[in-house]
Chains A and B, each alone.
Chain A
Amino acid sequence: MTTSPLLQIEGLSKSFFMHDQQKEVSSAREVSFRVHSKRLTALVGPTGAGKSSILKAIYRTYIPCKGQILYRSAAGKTVDLASADEHTILALRSREIGFVTQFLFALPRQPAIDVVASPLYRRGLSKADGRQKAGALLQRLHIPEHLWSLSPTTFSGGERQRINLARGIIGRPRLLLLDEPTASLDIRTTGDALEMITELKNEGTGILAIFHDPDLVQKMADTVYQLDRP
């Protein structure tokens, strides 16, 4: 029995043309795979195999050169993320598709708790409600409460990564893209982070993840997709 996939990637290729050197660099070639709701799909492969590029192409931070990225939306429509217009992508980003990148980008001078709650504010939630939900997540991720009002730019690498993860999870996206979400966490906080990712998955989110650690792939992935250098 197969349910229809949440995300279906067909023949995706991405290359970059560097004008100043008149050089084309390929980062992914003819990649096809599927992501299902309630499952975690892991992308594995050597550095330079294009794992991060694929996540960025799905999120439209990169413009795919070839192929289709078919996403089944909450409204039941199939949207090709490779060619959908910008406003469609922005709407999906704010309501359905989350991305936890390797590095945190947040508005400067914004308190950590508001950084985490920002996806909820964008959907119209009040500051008080948003902060309450964000606080609960930060507590679970062991970010000491006296740091919540500070900007994450002052935080350690591990703390920043947890802020990033909390912000990605808080909106309960239908599709979550994770790029090494636990790379700079210690064993205890890694365990907490993984627990939260699993919880989200069990609630119905389809997850596409890159983990640096093969043990984590083993432990977390329902499906593994192997990539080779293009």
Chain B
Amino acid sequence: MRKVLDVKGLSKVYGKGCPYCRDATGPRFNTNICPHCASVVAVHDISFTLYEGEILGVMGESGSGKSTVVKCLYFDETVDGGTAHFFDNHGQYNLFDLFSLNAAQRRWLRYRRFGMVYQNPHLGLNFGISAGGNIAERLLMNGMLIYADIRKRASELLQRTEVPENRMDDLPGHFSGGMQQRVQIAKALATNPPLLFLDEVTTGLDVSVQASILDLIIEIQDQLKTTMIVVTHDLGVIRLLAGRTIVMKNGCIIEAGLTDQILEDPQHAYTQRLVASAL
């Protein structure tokens, strides 16, 4: 099995920070706000590896730092500590130290090798241009310049994500929430990225729409073997999608393991409570 991502000691602090931040926050203190300088330690010392084709679940309540982890990896946020290596096999074995790259290198990874689907479609889509246009934007950045090719690929992607083809030229704002998510997924898949980040993609949708989005994700994983990080607070999503799971609280990983083990034999008090309170 090939390693795709290796994250070590990822940390992110909002605020000026002080020497006590790291030792005065975390699950032990049940807070991620530093009592000395009031900075927010969003993420502290997160390490994990990811292998090709697997889906890693990142679970935790609001404010646990789970979204910050993927936002840092996707360069939406800067980091304050740690390294991340991305291993790519197109052509040759490339090694990136993700967090020390220049802006151009980051853009290249963001647009060509990674995909991101946000909970809020406004973050992932440009609402000023059509659904097809959103995908075209991504393809153009990848050097696809012939109009007919772009249109063909965009329509393929929308078809795969079950967005009716005749709505390709409509604005995302005229779509339902579920369909906006499908367009976001289509856009994220445009360049066939080997690594996909999914941040609470089903949160706030109707149950039936949630089901169809989850089915789509399973199908994509099945056919394209895309490696994914799925961030969610929903145990059902974790059970359905993730082979392995990380549980976060107050910016730290409190436990990690095989998903069935996390759900059936949780070790940490917080995870036990979480699993026991599932509906």
Using a CB–CB cutoff of 8 Å, the interface residues on chain A facing chain B are 16-20, 56, 60-63, 86-87, 89-91, 107-109, 121
The reply to whether A62 and B261 contact each other, CB–CB distance below 8 Å, is yes
Say yes or no: is B258 at the interface (Cβ < 8 Å to chain A). Answer: yes
Range for the number of chain B residues in contact with chain A: 20 to 34
* A-facing residues in B194-242 (Cβ within 8 Å): 211, 215, 218, 222, 240
Report how far A109 CA is from B273 CA in the complex, Å.
29
Name the one of A61, A63, A86 contacting B244, with C-beta atoms under 8 angstroms: A86
Of all chain B residues, the one with the shortest Cβ separation from A56 is B264
Query: Chain B residues with Cβ under 8 A from A62's Cβ?
Result: 261, 264-265
Report how far A91 CA is from B53 CA in the complex, Å.
12
Report how far A133 CA is from B54 CA in the complex, Å.
26
The reply to whether B211 and A16 contact each other, CB–CB distance below 8 Å, is no
The reply to whether B218 and A108 contact each other, CB–CB distance below 8 Å, is no
Report how far A16 CA is from B276 CA in the complex, Å.
14
The reply to whether B257 and A86 contact each other, CB–CB distance below 8 Å, is yes
The reply to whether A87 and B265 contact each other, CB–CB distance below 8 Å, is no
Nearest-neighbour CB distance to chain A for B164, whole angstroms, equals 21
Report how far A89 CA is from B259 CA in the complex, Å.
12
Q: Chain B 238-278, CB within 8 Å of chain A: the 1/0 string?
A: 00100110000000000001101100110111001100100
The reply to whether B257 and A19 contact each other, CB–CB distance below 8 Å, is no
The reply to whether A20 and B265 contact each other, CB–CB distance below 8 Å, is no
Report how far A19 CA is from B265 CA in the complex, Å.
12
Query: Chain B residues with Cβ under 8 A from A86's Cβ?
Result: 244, 257-258
Report how far A90 CA is from B272 CA in the complex, Å.
23
Report how far A17 CA is from B261 CA in the complex, Å.
14
Nearest-neighbour CB distance to chain A for B9, whole angstroms, equals 19
Q: Which of B51, B218, B222, B258 has the most CB of A within 10 A?
A: B258
Report how far A56 CA is from B260 CA in the complex, Å.
10
Report how far A19 CA is from B54 CA in the complex, Å.
31
Nearest-neighbour CB distance to chain B for A102, whole angstroms, equals 13
Query: Chain B residues with Cβ under 8 A from A63's Cβ?
Result: 257, 261, 265, 267
The reply to whether B265 and A16 contact each other, CB–CB distance below 8 Å, is yes
Query: Chain B residues with Cβ under 8 A from A18's Cβ?
Result: 272
Say yes or no: is B1 at the interface (Cβ < 8 Å to chain A). Answer: yes
Report how far A62 CA is from B266 CA in the complex, Å.
9
Of all chain B residues, the one with the shortest Cβ separation from A59 is B260
The reply to whether A20 and B269 contact each other, CB–CB distance below 8 Å, is yes
Report how far A61 CA is from B259 CA in the complex, Å.
8
Which 5 A-B residue pairings sit nearest by Cβ, starting from the closest? A19-B269, A62-B265, A61-B260, A61-B264, A19-B272
Name the one of B215, B243, B276 contacting A90, with C-beta atoms under 8 angstroms: B243
Name the one of A61, A89, A91 contacting B1, with C-beta atoms under 8 angstroms: A91
The reply to whether A109 and B264 contact each other, CB–CB distance below 8 Å, is no
Query: Chain B residues with Cβ under 8 A from A61's Cβ?
Result: 258, 260-261, 264-265
